Amino acid sequence: MVKHFFNKGKNLLFSQQDNVLSAAFVIASMVFASQILGFVSKRIMLEFFKPAEYSMFLAAFRLPDFIFEILALGVFSSAFIPIVSKSLNTDPKRAWRVSATIVNVGLILFIPIAILFVLLANPIYHLIAPGFTDAQTDTIANLARILFLAQGVFIVSYVITGVLEASKMFLVAAVAPIFYNLGIIVGTIVLSPVFGIYAPVFGVVLGAILHLGVQYPFAYKLGFRPTKKVVIDDDIKKVGKLAAPRVFELSVLQVLKTAELFFASIVSASAYTYLALASALSAFPVTLLGLSLSKAALPTLSRQADKPTEFLKTLMTTLNQMMFLIIPVAMLIIVLRIPLVRLLFGTDNYDWSSTVQTGLVLSAFAVGIPAQAAITLLSRAFYAQGDTKTPVVLAVSDALATILLQSIFILVLKLPIWALAWASTASGLVQVLSLYIVLTIKIHKFKLFSLVSVAKSIFASVVSGFVVFTVLKTFDRSVWLKQISFLPSIDILRNLNFETFVLDTRYTGQLIILTAVSAMVGVTLYLLILFVLRSEELFAFVRIIRRRAFAKFGIATETVTNPTEG
């Protein structure tokens, strides 16, 4: 019995996900678990630390992330995986050699730069985060010095992630971030009483080690071996050539994130916390639905790069499925922003004022969620064709436009922290439109791809979002008491005894009920509208659910067809 259970678990971990939806399902499932743990870790930290203190922890990541994301993400997302994917089919030893060399090159580049930044951390943080006091800046610099150790581990770990994803072993790669968040949680709970704000930083280091440790045995089993040699052969040169534009793009994006820290610190010491938490919430669906589908599609798109018809079919099917899932989520986040922030982050240290400020930032970010998700896919469509320059040019333009808008909003107009989010959203919408137009020119002979499915999802989401808003305002007791909606002003409702049907959202249980019911009403209406509009994505989704639900029982199911067919 035990042996049978062990073998099933082993087969699951070593199994490959060969199609985009299967891979995306695995990635999304693990990403969901990881993201939930991420929010748990944030909630726990807000139990221990006030927003201004938490801002210091977040600010400390700026320098280590600056280096890591340029070196790691710049190589893996655009160049490493496509090359290793192709090599695994023809010459596995070659793929492992490239992987091991990339580890060494990454560490050779990272270590001296990290040492330099460690030495200069204090003056750099005085420059990029001028709103913090001298004492706060000293603490931020010390936290950053510890975090560089974690990012060094991640340089190795992300190569391993790339190896597993190139081998289509998405499950193990997607499990690793769960262990990373567990490390942060353990470090915060166990060490905070002794080490204060340093505790979650020690947790980050522990999490990084776990992130590497859970993946390495599987990569080793596949054939990956570390090496002491650094041989810059044609494969490594090709990785470098393809990665160079992406590295430049990420450098500019890191400047953008640094600018956000600069502007947020000017607004207030707590403002960076509001921005970061709202950004994390809005990034959740982008990562769960957008990035999961995009990462799962990249190997397939890479193999279909010289087959335009198949390439376009995979791209548009993935995009339509992505928008079908993510647009209603964005709408729900906009409407339910305050309940979500209260439920996730509401603690004694995170009061009503902090909740409102975070909600305003979140609604601004949420408008751009579909665009950010689409960018992850459209950019990878260019990467799959070996074109890393076009998305780089557009991303750099977007980043520069964002910084310009943010500087005007904060330095000139003196707007609150939500202005930074609106600047990001506006620039993102322009970027996705630019990617879409250029891609149509590049692979579709100047003909625009059909976006009818996307338009259906937008229409259904807007209608359902309005209904959710009405439900929320109708059954929230505080709305009637404070008369902050249009409902109490309606003559027929003015003398209504609202206490008989409303919920008191001061209590967590009742807030959860109202939020959940409102969301379910919105989702149900969204699906009904798409059914009426004959959404292809809806019927495809139903087919997948039916196959997964009944296949393991050996029950045959009829194909759920679009009513417009046959």
Indicate whether 286 pLDDT > 70.
yes
- For the segment 451-479, the average pLDDT, to the nearest whole number, is 91
- Per-residue model confidence as pLDDT tens digits over 60-94: 999 999 988 887 776 655 567 777 777 777 777 88
CA dihedral 426, 331, 312, 532 (to 10 degrees): -140
Task: Return the pLDDT at 78.
Answer: 57
- Give the CA distances from residue 503 to residues 103, 359, 487, 553, in Å, rounded to whole numbers and listed in that order: 56, 21, 15, 42
Assigned domain for 471 exists? no
Q: In this structure, what token pair is assigned to residue 260?
A: 């956000």
Assigned domain for 220 exists? yes
Hey, CA dihedral for 138, 140, 143, 145, is it positive or negative?
A: negative
Task: Return the pLDDT at 6.
Answer: 41
| pLDDT band, very low/low/confident/very high, at 448 (cuts 50, 70, 90) | low
Task: Return the pLDDT at 75.
Answer: 64
Residues 6+ apart with CB under 8 A from 46: 54, 345, 347, 349, 350
Indicate whether 344 pLDDT > 90.
yes
Assigned domain for 102 exists? yes
Name which residue leads in pLDDT, 504 or 262. 262
Task: Return the pLDDT at 444.
Answer: 65
- Per-residue model confidence as pLDDT tens digits over 170-209: 788 888 999 999 999 999 999 999 999 999 999 999 999 9
Nearest residue to 523 via CA among 333, 355, 386, 271: 333
- For the segment 132-149, the average pLDDT, to the nearest whole number, is 96
Give the whole-angstrom CA distance, residue 157 versus residue 207.
Answer: 11
Assigned domain for 457 exists? no
- Per-residue model confidence as pLDDT tens digits over 143-165: 999 999 999 999 999 888 888 87
Helix spans in 49-91 (H): 51-60, 62-68, 74-75, 81-90
Quote the number of domains for the chain. Answer: 1
Q: Percent of the chain at pLDDT above 90?
A: 51
Task: Return the pLDDT at 53.
Answer: 96
Give the whole-angstrom CA distance, residue 81 versus residue 346.
Answer: 40
Task: Return the pLDDT at 1.
Answer: 44
User: CA end-to-end span of the chain, whole Å?
Assistant: 49
- Per-residue model confidence as pLDDT tens digits over 346-402: 999 999 999 999 999 999 999 999 999 999 999 999 988 888 788 888 988 999 999
Bridge partners, residue 476, by sequence: 503
Assigned domain for 390 exists? yes
Assigned domain for 90 exists? yes
Q: Phi and psi for 503 in degrees, rounded to 5?
A: -115, 140
Assigned domain for 71 exists? yes
Task: Return the pLDDT at 558.
Answer: 44
Give the whole-angstrom CA distance, residue 262 versus residue 59.
Answer: 10
Nearest residue to 65 via CA among 160, 133, 152, 178: 152
Print the domain residue range for 384: 2-450
Assigned domain for 565 exists? no
Q: Phi and psi for 554 in degrees, rounded to 5?
A: 70, 25
Give the whole-angstrom CA distance, residue 503 versus residue 520.
Answer: 17
Residues 6+ apart with CB under 8 A from 214: 172, 175, 176, 179
How many other CB atoms are found less than 10 A from the CB of residue 518? Answer: 24
- Per-residue model confidence as pLDDT tens digits over 46-64: 999 999 999 999 999 999 9
